[in-house]
Structure 1
Amino acid sequence: MNKEINSTEIARLAGVSRSTVSRVINNYTNVPEHTKQKVMKVIQQYNYYPNLSAQVLAGKRTRTIGLFMIDSGRVSGDSISSLLLARIIESASSQGYYVLTHIVRDLKEQEEIRTIKEIFYQRRIDGGVFIGAANHEPLIEELITEGFMVAIVDQHVPGRTEPNRIVFNFDNETGVGQAVDYLVSLGHTRIGMINGDMNRYSGPSKRRGFQTAMERHNLPVNTEWILPGDFNEASGYRAIKDFLKAGTELPTALFAANDSVAFGAVRALKEAGIRVPQDVSVIGFDDHFRSEHHSPPLTTIKVDFADMMDQLTKTLITSIERGTDTFQASAAGTQLIVRDSCQSVTTA
């Protein structure tokens, strides 16, 4: 990380005065456009952002962590996302840290990228947490390469074990195995799956877990019963609607990549006159707040999100304060929660 670059050096490289650099940074209107572009080119080339305070310049911590939730929808409308946000804030607060929270709608937008980089490079935070990003997100990789302390939920990048990379995952393959084992114990052999977002680590890892569990029970995987999804209710609804239009024979059971996907799938099945669980059993993953109160109450694989976020926040803050020279990765355990959305084939 280049910690030596400052406005004087930027001015020298751009061939302008330091005051001109200051006017460009503060977006003054009395700077000719060609001069502004020349200065901005150097600023972007060297990832220069002005520090906010003498305290930061002196190398002291801000006692603030950044929380970046990548979600194109409404975070406030999803109880899991709300739980993750609230738990990190509570955990950080208990350790004397503030949380700067930023909801990111699209990490491909250049303005979003610049905003996030400014937060890091201006030293407004001591480290950051990313939730909901693609498994290989160029911005995250750049920040880690530049030496910033970054914690990521749901990532697996083989060979990348930098000490400033902290990774917390769900034990997807074990959890999906528990789901398939339970369905098989009920006599199901014709089992399908609605996938999650395949750009995120949980998408392909759950798909692998499903494949492995089916092979363990010597059951074939019917590709017609592997449906696309995106970790949200609308995608589960759309997957079933499209599947039913194709006229393909239904499996007797469906595993949904998360509970939100399951909610959408159940709604679409009901609209088509297909009963859950009498005609099709449905099992989810997460144990969403709504699952217990759903109709029917959803059988699911529970993840202890609260404990996971506590451990992640504690690990990040400890690494900020004490430093670390080893890569840190953890996985949250899973537990089968039996409710009413699945039943035995013999009683169907």
Structure 2
Amino acid sequence: MTTMLDVAKRAGVSKATVSRVLAGHHYVSKTARDKVNRAIAETGYRPNLIARNLATNRTHSIGLMVPNTLYNGPFFSELIFQAATLTEKMGSKLVLADGKHTAEQERQAIEWLIDMRCDALIAYPRYLSVDEIDALIPELPAPLMIVNRQSKTFPQFSVCADHLQDTFNAVDWLIQQGHREVMFIAGLGSSYTGRSRLQGYLAALEKHQIARNDALIIPGDWTPDGGKRVMHAFLQQRPAHFTALVASNDDMAIGAANALHEAGLRVPEDVSLLSFDNMPMSSYFIPALTTVHVPVAEMVAGAVAQLSKLLDGEAVAPLPLLNGTLIQRQSVTKGPYA
């Protein structure tokens, strides 16, 4: 049976160098790494992962918990892509756990990742409250980073976008374009992101002394079908006039735009349209969507960087809230008050 020493001899390096390459350490030169990988391929060497993990007390795996309500959409694909890419750069594997539909199931998914001996964890919770997460963090034998939520007790273990401020900035800009009758399709009320975006919308109205009109605030469910359905229902009754629509994500914006089209209303000539996420398809939509780019990659990068430091025994400081970017395209035009 081929051993690590055989690989080292064939590669012309030390056994310690082979061990570092297998562990994914970054301080091995590319030349040495290539020699070792070539020798492994030529000899057919297969490392004893169990023995190595026991010896180092590391499995070189990072766990990611995500509720499955996120699975059906481009937001999830970017989250997974970024997490997998960055954990690979750490020399680790990404292990995914399904948080399903309840706080208890999210907790069980996190515990499963611990049972799998993941070195560290990233969680994107929807159902676990901040207080529940804060109670869980000190109980875990591995560090846990929370994405898209702010920890009250352990802010250094969370990374979050400033959804409230980003929404305030976007709606404030829209009002400055001459729109004062602004309709809002909210996200799910159970969602931290959904609540924050509604608060940002209301704060922008208040800044411009525009009275809140509940007839223009419609609950949505994050999906294109949901956006189309609530817009269709609104247009049938027309309880209030509006010249601009803010949808809490691109999916609902596209669905709502379809309902507007079927009702004979044009974007942006009749209704200006603004949304959030900056999905890849948003720039190809006709007209191209004005949308807020959400810093998903930056959130994941912050989480992975914090975990890397923690695994190396370093102290970490709280991360600042991350700001999105308003991408101005063709779906917004000047309003009647410009």
TM-score bin (small chain)? 0.7 to 0.9
The 1:321/1:233 distance shift into structure 2, 3 A limit, reads farther
For residue 332 of structure 1, give the secondary structure of its aligned residue in structure 2: coil
- Alignment match, 2:323: 333
- Give the distance between the partners of 2:116 and 2:99, measured in 1 at CA: 19
- Measured after TM superposition, the shift of residue 182 of structure 1 is 2.1
Worse-matched range after superposition: 289-298 or 311-320: 311-320
Task: Give the number of aligned pairs.
Answer: 289
Quickly say closer, same or farther: Cα 1:199–1:97, change in 2 above 3 A: same
Deviation at 1:140, TM superposition (A): 4.1
| CA distance in structure 2 between the aligned counterparts of 1:107 and 1:56, rounded to whole angstroms | 33
C-alpha displacement at 1:54, in angstroms? Answer: 6.9
Structure 1 position 59, deviation (Å):
7.3
In structure 2, distance between residues paired with 1:53 and 1:173: 46
Deviation at 1:82?
A: 0.6
Task: Select the residue among 299, 313, 333 that pairs with 1:343.
Answer: 333
Contact preservation (8 Å) 2:147, 2:299 = no
Letter in 2 for 1:255: V
Question: Residues of 2 paired with 1:230 and 1:321: CA distance?
Answer: 41
Alignment equivalent of 2:85, drawn from 90, 106, 114: 90
How far is the alpha carbon of 1:273 from its aligned partner? 1.9
Which residue of structure 2 lines up, in the alignment, with residue 134 of structure 1? 127
What is the DSSP-based 3-state SS (H/G/I as helix, E as strand, rest coil) of the residue aligned with 2:96? strand
8 Å Cα contact 1:71/1:132 also seen in 2: no
Q: How many angstroms apart in 1 are the aligned matches of 2:133 and 2:336?
A: 50
Contact 2:244 2:272 in 1 (8 A): yes
**Which AA in structure 2 matches 1:126?**
D
**Correspondence 1:159-198 to 2 at 5 A:** 160-162=152-154, 166-198=157-189
Partner of 2:272: 281
Is residue 100 from structure 1 mapped to residue 95 from structure 2 by the alignment? Answer: yes
CA contact (8 A) 1:88 1:309 kept: yes
* SS of residue paired to 1:210: helix
Residue 210 to residue 292, structure 1, CA distance change in 2 (3 Å): same
1:141–1:260 Cα change, 3 Å = same
Amino acid at match of 2:181: R
Pairing 1:68–2:65 present: yes
For the residues of structure 1 that align with 2:117 and 2:132, how far apart are their CA atoms?
17
Determine if contact 1:68/1:103 at 8 Å carries over to the other structure. yes
Residues 155 and 200 of structure 1 are in contact (CA less than 8 Å); yes or no, is this contact kept in structure 2? no
Tell me how far apart the structure 1 counterparts of residues 299 and 112 of structure 2 sit (CA, whole Å).
28
2:335 partner amino acid? V
SS in structure 1 of the partner of residue 69 of structure 2 = coil
Q: Over residues 224-255 of structure 1, what are the superposed CA-to-partner deviations in whole Å (9 max), with x where a residue is unaligned? A: 10110223323222221232233313311111
- 8 Å Cα contact 2:130-2:149 kept in structure 1: no
| Contact kept? 1:135, 1:200, Cα under 8 Å | no
Partners of 2:208 and 2:109 in 1: CA distance:
49
TM-score (norm 1): 0.74
Q: Quote the residue 1:216 is aligned against.
A: 207
RMSD: 2.7
The 1:114–1:207 alpha-carbon spacing in structure 2 relative to 1, beyond 3 Å, is closer
The SS at the match of 2:66 is: strand
Q: Which amino acid aligns with 1:162?
A: F
Counterpart secondary structure, 1:322: coil
Structure 2: gaps (5+ residues): 1-48
Question: Displacement, 1:98?
Answer: 1.2
Name the CA distance, whole Å, in 1 between partners of 2:73 and 2:148: 18
- Quote how far apart the aligned CAs of 1:144 are: 1.4
Q: What amino acid maps onto 1:129 in structure 2?
A: I
